[in-house]
Amino acid sequence: MRLINLIIILLFIVGCKKKITTEVDDSKLDSSLLKNGMLVLCEGLFQQNNASISWVDFSNISTDNLFFTNKTGRLLGDTGNDMQIYGGKIYIVVNVSSTIEVLDKSNGKSLKQISMMNGNFAKQPRSIAFYGSNAFVTCFDGYVDVIDTTSLLITKRIKVGSNPEGLTVSNSKLYVSNSGGLNTSKVDSTVSVINLISLEENEKITVGKNPGSILTDSKGNVYVIARGDYSGITSRMIRINSVSDKVETIFPFEISGMENMEDNLVLIYKSNGSSVSKIGIFDPIKEVFSTPELISSTNFTTLYGVQYRASNNKLYCFDAMSYTNSGYVKVFSSTGIFETSYHVGLNPSKLIFYE
Amino acid sequence: MIIKHLLQIIFFNCFFCMLGYSQDTVRSLSEVNVSTFELLKMKTLEITSQSYSRNQILYSQPEDIGAILQKFSGTAVKSYGGLGGLKTVSVRGLGSHHTTFLIDGFTINNTQTGQINLGQLQTDNVENVTLSIGGRNGFLLPASSYTNGSIVSVNTFENNQSNEFFKIRYSTRIGSFGEIDNYLSTKISKKNLFLSAFGKYRQANGKYPYLLKNGTIDYKGIRNNNDLLDWYSGVTFGKFFKNDAELRIIYKTNGANQGLPGAVILYNEMANQRLSTQSQSLNLDFTQNYKKIAYRIFGTYNYDWLHYSDPFYLNNTGGISTVYINKSTQLGSSFQYKLGNKSIFFGGVESRYSELIFSTPNSAIPKRLNSFGLFGINFNREKWTSELQITVQSVLEENNSGERAVNRFKVNPFLSLENIEFGSWKWKFKAWYRNSFRMPSFNELYYNSIGNVKLKPEEANQFSVGLSIKPIDKKFDLTVVLNGFVNRVDNQILAIPTKNLFVWSMQNIGRVNTFGYESRVRIEKCFNSFWFTDLDLNYTFQYSVDVSDKKSPTYLNQVAYIPRHTGNLIYNLKRKNTGFQISTSIVSLRYSLTENSVSNQLNGIEIVDLGVFSKINFKNKQSLRIQFSVKNLLDSSYSYIRYFVMPGRNYLLTLNYAFN
């Protein structure tokens, strides 16, 4: 009798074995127009193919964490690194899968998947920026790829430094941070300056070890974060004058993230002696924090980034939840008051807003 | 530091010398008695141990020891796919580092990784495999083998003397995906010695097709960079002396050259990483058994060379090519002493010195002196048997190139209570408790930026109660074993991103509780002198959850890759020397991360294997056995680790020749 019971238990387990529900019904592939919401790029985790895009609908406060799959019928891939909008198209840079997904801005439908393979060799794209009719993509193999935004074909490869990451346009030039991040103790320290007319590298500016995030402020100055070596050499924000292409200032605080906020910068930084990051507003003209602690780190499990939305003057902060749990986008007023949060996918890092 | 090492060695060797004197004292007593080897041997504790015999291995043709352990209850195997690929086992929710592996009574260890790749432990020469949880299952085992949560013990054909003067074992296998194996072993046995020599060669291209669900799309691919060429060989010499004494010398060497296919990455099929390994080991031991006492002195030297390469890694030097050399020397002794007629006192000491050399500049050069002491007593009373073990362990660390980990000293107890079989149903109960820990491996402590020298040891507490029933029935043999268990692991060691997604580090992550039960049923029926059938069934339930932080989103979530339900069914039917086996393994859905969300789910696994075999006996004690096996008969698409896809239906033809 006991034996029969055991067999029944085993059969029951087989019968009850749940099937994963990631399959998407074709009928859900909709082409409805996107409005009043935001797209959230969730990077996922290395070797898990779980990069994703969440759609947050502000009108009914609903979240669809399978947005990309519902729109395209397939998965985004492994480690989404950047998502930008340009000329009616959304460009999503997927690093480990080595692809750039191009979506129609209006409805999210796939226009093209650009393979960033060089034969069997993955170029590992990281970030994207635009100028004129071209998109520029940093590739970890030491190049910036130029993509025609109409044909969506790669037209040129520009040799830069080691493991380029961020890139920004200023004064008709493209500034590319060369991290050299895959060289462990011998990381790169330079920013490549590319002439956007000739599409050639002009020079390299030495800024500090392991440069990563890079942006252009409202005055045309270029700011780059040199991340150091995560131990003895701490991170620093460096300002480059885009006219002289010289390093102007090295700011004396540890920093992990930056974002434009009108004429100011929103920084994720650590004040001297502190081990905890916070979000402050920095005046780049006066070179002081106008608001040293706008948002405290106690609001987050893992503060992973911040993005400013000019249309409603709010800050959207990313909580990566220890990097291994699904994350949140937390919304704060310009005075640092918490307003709401949205539960999204794994490691949210970029937003595109729809008004 | 060196002085501390010397003190450590002196302490353990003093005990070793004292033991030597006690042996001399007892030896005089033994002269009037015959050997009590068998009396001193601990009998198999079936409630807490499971075995797989040579015949079962032949029936199921497992590709490695991992495939055998998967058939046991309480285990969860992680396989990264393909022949020779990384395969580890977790027992009762404890990580793979909590299991000790013994081959022919010698522990095998890898201080670099802290775990054994079961994919490289092949089964051609294996006589039996035993998994013991909460009890000893061997005689004069090294003290270090008592310090972990569970023990897998493997005995090989080459390790024992036989009654015949000359024996040969030969097997060849031809399988799907270019698999070709050849194994040859010979053994000469005389009255007071034996000598065996063996060798094995295996190759496979590993290009198996797989099916992957990509959203609504079925993607069919071929596994790339999954080729394997490996070999092993060895010589064993055994010499018997008066007073039931035996000397063994074992030399083994093995090597492998294989591709590392990695996870299937959507839209990117590039895979270029390769691994080459070469290992050599020398084992020596001397065992002597008297009426009152038995003792063993043993020593081991291991040399492991590992080369990892990735020619397309995007650094300035044009890829990665790194060599790791891991050397370890082990010296120890163990004994058992009979106290009166009913109790046994046992113990042992052991020291293991390990070092790791990285070829990359500015890397750590870690060294470790790990010393173990064991004291145990087994009380046998009329109706009950109880056992107490105390293990003492010290770990001294050095790093010639940078910060070192903290030295550790730990005392861990084990206690068990078991009744003697009683009644016509042969009821038997056993309850036990074990406290143990595992040190972080060299990789976890020192590997480039990932290692973390601040890591604490992972602590484990296990409590288990079980019963077995063997009702006497002339129609068939039935054994039923039920176990319930509660485990707690503190300071669990995991690799997680820390600074950002690309900067990972080893960290101690809170606490894991496991509540579970196992049930095992075995039925054997011999219809007549021709027909024989048997059935093995097991089922395991493991509620293994994160209890680190009530505010965490993973609180009370099932731990990553630990299935809540696993089950096995193995059925054999044999007529004389011909028969078949059908077996199935079931693993319920698992999560790739501890957050139990739908996006982290991995489908459950159902695998059915089928084998048919026939054995022909020739004159002059020769036999030839042929078996045709179909693995994954239902052609299931599955993976143990997310996106490390496993092969679909595949075939294997095996020929075994034996002389004597």
Strands B228-241 and B217-222: unpaired
Chain B hits for A23, Cβ within 8 Å: 213, 215-216
Distance separating alpha carbons of residues A47 and B643, to the nearest angstrom: 8
Distance separating alpha carbons of residues A183 and B313, to the nearest angstrom: 10
- Could you tell me the two tokens for B223? 């596994």
ipTM confidence score = 0.90
Distance separating alpha carbons of residues A101 and B86, to the nearest angstrom: 33
Q: Which of A8, A22, A68 is the best residue to mutate to test the B interface, defined by the most B CB atoms within 10 Å of its own CB?
A: A22
Classify A350 as helix, strand or coil.
Answer: strand
Q: At CA B165, angle to CA B160 and CA B168, rounded to 5?
A: 70
Contact A250, A263 (CB under 8 A): no
Average pLDDT over residues B118-136: 89
Contact residues, A window 38-77, toward B, CB-based 8 Å cutoff: 43, 45-50, 52, 65, 69, 72-75, 77
Contact B175, B142 (CB under 8 A): no
Which tens digit of pLDDT belongs to each residue from A278-317?
999 999 999 999 999 999 999 999 999 999 999 999 999 9
Distance separating alpha carbons of residues B536 and B518, to the nearest angstrom: 13
The alpha carbon of residue A146 is apart from the nearest alpha carbon of chain B, in Å, by: 20
Facing residues of B542 across strands?
Answer: B516
Average pLDDT over residues B209-221: 92
Average pLDDT over residues B11-20: 35
Confidence at A14, pLDDT banded by 50, 70, 90: very low
Instruction: Report which of A230, A236, A269, A235 is spatially closest to residue A251, judged by C-alpha positions.
Output: A236
Which tens digit of pLDDT belongs to each residue from B312-346?
999 988 899 999 999 999 999 999 999 888 899 99
Q: What pLDDT, on a 0 to 100 scale, did the predictor assign at position A120?
A: 85
Distance separating alpha carbons of residues B88 and B110, to the nearest angstrom: 13
The alpha carbon of residue A73 is apart from the nearest alpha carbon of chain B, in Å, by: 5
Classify A3 as helix, strand or coil.
Answer: helix
Distance separating alpha carbons of residues A53 and A25, to the nearest angstrom: 18
Q: What pLDDT, on a 0 to 100 scale, did the predictor assign at position B34?
A: 29
Question: Across the interface, do B604 and A9 touch by the CB < 8 Å criterion?
Answer: no
Contact B74, B469 (CB under 8 A): no
Nearest to A14 among B314, B586, B603 (CB): B586
The alpha carbon of residue A171 is apart from the nearest alpha carbon of chain B, in Å, by: 30
- Find, in chain B, the residue whose alpha carbon is nearest to that of A25: B216
Length of chain A: 355
Nearest to A10 among B499, B537, B598 (CB): B537
- CB-based burial label for A203 (10 Å; 0-12, 13-18, 19+): exposed
Contact residues, A window 286-325, toward B, CB-based 8 Å cutoff: 304, 321-325
Question: Does the structure show a pLDDT above 70 at B11?
Answer: no
Contact B127, B54 (CB under 8 A): yes
Average pLDDT, chain A: 90
- Residues sharing a CB contact under 8 Å with residue B447, sequence separation 6 or more, in sequence order: B364
- Could you tell me the two tokens for B544? 């293994």
Q: What single string gives the DSSP state of each residue in B182-194?
A: EEEEEEEE-SSEE
Contact B244, B35 (CB under 8 A): yes
Question: Does the structure show a pLDDT above 70 at B40?
Answer: no
Our separate counts of H helices and E strands in chain B read: 5, 35
Contact B20, B348 (CB under 8 A): no
Average pLDDT over residues A33-45: 95
Lowest mean pLDDT among B237-251, B284-298, B355-369, B570-584: B355-369
Q: What are phi and psi of B24, to 5 degrees?
A: -60, -40
In Å, what is the CA distance from B438 to each residue of A310, B165, B291, B409, B461? Answer: 53, 44, 36, 12, 12
Instruction: Report which of A289, A248, A257 is spatially closest to residue A272, judged by C-alpha positions.
Output: A289
Classify B3 as helix, strand or coil.
Answer: helix
Which tens digit of pLDDT belongs to each residue from A241-270?
999 999 999 999 999 999 999 999 999 999
Chain A hits for B217, Cβ within 8 Å: 73-74
The alpha carbon of residue A230 is apart from the nearest alpha carbon of chain B, in Å, by: 8
Average pLDDT over residues B3-28: 35
Alpha-carbon radius of gyration of chain B: 25
Q: What are phi and psi of B31, to 5 degrees?
A: -60, -25
Q: What are phi and psi of B597, to 5 degrees?
A: -95, 160
Average pLDDT over residues B418-439: 88
Question: Does the structure show a pLDDT above 80 at B468?
Answer: yes
Percent of chain B clearing pLDDT 90 (strictly above):
71
Q: Which of B265, B566, B589, B600 is the best residue to mutate to test the A interface, defined by the most A CB atoms within 10 Å of its own CB?
A: B265
Chain B hits for A22, Cβ within 8 Å: 213, 215, 598-599, 601
Cβ atoms < 10 Å from Cβ of B318: 10
Q: What pLDDT, on a 0 to 100 scale, did the predictor assign at position B303?
A: 96
- Find, in chain A, the residue whose alpha carbon is nearest to that of B642: A48
Confidence at B501, pLDDT banded by 50, 70, 90: low
Question: Does the structure show a pLDDT above 90 at A166?
Answer: yes
The alpha carbon of residue B36 is apart from the nearest alpha carbon of chain A, in Å, by: 39
Distance separating alpha carbons of residues B100 and B197, to the nearest angstrom: 26
Question: Does the structure show a pLDDT above 60 at A30?
Answer: no
- Residues sharing a CB contact under 8 Å with residue B407, sequence separation 6 or more, in sequence order: B4, B394, B395, B396, B397
Classify B23 as helix, strand or coil.
Answer: helix
Average pLDDT over residues B236-262: 94
Instruction: Report which of B576, B626, B570 is spatially closest to residue B60, judged by C-alpha positions.
Output: B570
Question: Does the structure show a pLDDT above 80 at B448?
Answer: no
Distance separating alpha carbons of residues A225 and A213, to the nearest angstrom: 5
Distance separating alpha carbons of residues B561 and B544, to the nearest angstrom: 10
Chain B hits for A183, Cβ within 8 Å: 315-317
Question: Does the structure show a pLDDT above 80 at B5?
Answer: no
Q: At CA B106, angle to CA B104 and CA B109, rounded to 5?
A: 125
Instruction: Report which of B262, B255, B290 is spatially closest to residue B276, judged by C-alpha positions.
Output: B255
